[in-house]
């Protein structure tokens, strides 16, 4: 459910603007065709960006059409993606996904999602094997242009540090209800921008082990920065206290 515009926290808009100024909504090479985007995300699981972009290209080279891929065994699918690691697991996932999609739509395609509501498309995707809210919302956002907010590891970490959301699950992982609560705090028109830019920030500056707060473009809004530091920075930006 989306709130009236005035009900979203002002700080979310300010952080979004500061991040957009720094990272310019770089899309991390995600794709606009929904099945390709789903396969791209599977290739990216626990894999460095430089490696998963290459393995996805190799997968597409080996199986140029979705039907080529749908007719291949997991063993053959594993070969072109081997360099990215976990190829046995990823190839079985791809095989299971293509079977489930073909069983529902009669062909290896996610194009019918374009005619579904956000809710129905997300329900379809999350019913697929090994597809959770994050992956489903990436497909919806990147490939279908829907105003949803996928919560990946970087978005989750930075949002918690900013105090936008609290974990409700032991171990600190993002539970599905946490993902919904965080999405509900973010104005729909800022969800794409914040998602891609929080990933950039999480990779470059707000890293898991050693955040470089001194270089952070959103430190003014972060509770981790002391009040005195914040006041000094605000004064430096606006010496008259404006
Ligand atoms: S100030 Fe530090 S902890 Fe806060 S968002 Fe920036 S890098 Fe992360």
Ligand 1: centre distance to CA 150 (Å) = 20
Report which of 41, 189, 47 is spatially closest to residue 110, judged by C-alpha positions. Answer: 41
220 C-alpha to ligand 1 centroid (Å): 9
131 three-state secondary structure: coil
| Residue boundaries of the structural domains of the chain | 1-27+150-242, 34-143
Show the low-confidence residues of the chain (pLDDT under 50).
241-242
**Given this model, what pLDDT does residue 241 score?**
44
Atom of ligand 1 nearest to the CA of 219: 1
At 7 the pLDDT is 66
What pLDDT is attached to residue 127?
Answer: 97
> Measured from the CB, is residue 213 less than 6 Å from ligand 1?
yes
Domain over 1-27+150-242 is classified CATH 1.10.460.10? no
CATH architecture of 34-143: Orthogonal Bundle (1.10)
For the CA atoms of the chain, what is the radius of gyration?
Answer: 20
178 lines ligand 1 (CB under 6 A): no
Position 25 scores a pLDDT of 96
Pocket of ligand 1 contains residue 203 by CB under 6 Å: no
Instruction: Report how far ligand 1's centroid is from the alpha carbon of 228 (Å).
Output: 16
Most informative mutation of 157, 202, 211 for ligand 1 (most atoms within 8 A of CB): 211
Q: Are 176 and 136 in contact (CB under 8 A)?
A: no
- Structure confidence at residue 63 (pLDDT): 96
Distance 154 CA to ligand 1 centre (A): 12
* CA gap 2, 203 in Å, rounded: 29
Please state, in angstroms and rounded to a whole number, the distance separating the CA atoms of residues 24 and 18: 10
Question: Is residue 133 among the annotated active site residues?
Answer: no
């Amino acid at each position: 459910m989306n709130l009236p515009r005035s009900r979203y926290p002002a700080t979310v808009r300010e952080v979004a603007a500061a991040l957009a100024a720094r990272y310019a909504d770089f899309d991390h090479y995600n794709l606009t065709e929904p099945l390709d985007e789903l396969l791209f995300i599977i290739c990216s699981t626990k894999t460095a960006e430089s490696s998963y972009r290459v393995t996805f290209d190799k997968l597409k080279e080996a199986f140029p059409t979705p039907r080529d891929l749908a007719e291949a065994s997991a063993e053959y699918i594993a070969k072109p993606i081997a360099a990215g690691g976990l190829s046995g697991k990823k190839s079985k996932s791809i095989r299971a996904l293509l079977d489930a999609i073909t069983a529902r739509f009669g062909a290896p395609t996610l194009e019918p999602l374009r005619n579904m509501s956000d809710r129905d498309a997300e329900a379809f995707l999350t019913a697929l094997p090994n597809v959770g809210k994050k992956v489903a919302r990436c497909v919806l956002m990147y490939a279908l242009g829907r105003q949803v907010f996928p919560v990946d590891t970087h978005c989750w970490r930075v949002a918690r540090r900013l105090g936008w959301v609290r974990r409700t699950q032991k171990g600190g992982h993002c539970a599905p209800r946490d993902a919904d609560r965080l999405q509900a705090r973010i104005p729909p028109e800022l969800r794409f921008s914040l998602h891609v830019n929080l990933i950039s920030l999480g990779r470059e500056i707000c890293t898991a082990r050693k955040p470089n707060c001194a270089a952070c473009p959103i430190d003014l809004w972060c509770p981790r920065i002391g009040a005195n530091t914040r006041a000094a920075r605000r004064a430096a930006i606006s010496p008259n206290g404006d």
